[in-house]
Amino acid sequence: MNGPATHPATARAQRVKLMIFDVDGVLTDGGLRYGPDGEAIKTFNALDGHGIKLLQQSGVRAAIISARNSAIVARRAADLGIASLMQGVHDKRTAFEQLRSDLQLAPEACGFMGDDVIDLPVMTRVGFAASVPNGHPEVRARAHFVSDARGGSGAAREVCDFILRAQGNYEAALAPYLA
């Protein structure tokens, strides 16, 4: 991966005030597992979660827009302090426009990380679009940044760290752990 100083998406990441994440395939590995009673089981990555927390502590808001509706995702969002959670959304563009309007942000100040074609209506409107290496080829082709890590395996953390570095906040985010 190119560092922020040399990556072509650095200027885009510098403007991000809101980073939005898809869930399946981004915050999880995209696998759909069902328990014995038919409940969905999702596995989240702790590195991703801490990266989202660090990003929020630096002043960048985090949000989730997901096509699926899941109590597990609501729990994860609450654990991470993500107040903007939109689930069961099949028209992600409209959800994005509503969120952006509510927060009074220009599209250029928003980022989105997705992995499938349902994410393209948002990815093509934000200032910073990110994807995962195992995402759909059409999505990767339109992303400004593609993580080295796969979805659910640190991809979101990689994007959070990239934004923190681009905005000059990475060292400050690490400082409490190095004291």
Q: What pLDDT score does 41 carry?
A: 85
| Among 139, 124, 155, 165, CA closest to 48 | 155
CATH of 10-171, one of 3.40.50.720, 3.40.50.620, 3.40.50.1000, 1.10.3720.10: 3.40.50.1000
Residue spans per domain, the chain? 10-171
Q: What is the mean pLDDT of each run of 10 residues along the chain (179 residues)?
A: 74 98 96 83 94 98 95 95 95 97 97 98 98 98 98 98 98 94
Q: What pLDDT score does 90 carry?
A: 92
Please state, rounded to an integer, the average pLDDT across all residues of the chain: 95
Q: What pLDDT score does 19 carry?
A: 98
pTM assigned to the model: 0.94
Q: What pLDDT score does 5 carry?
A: 66
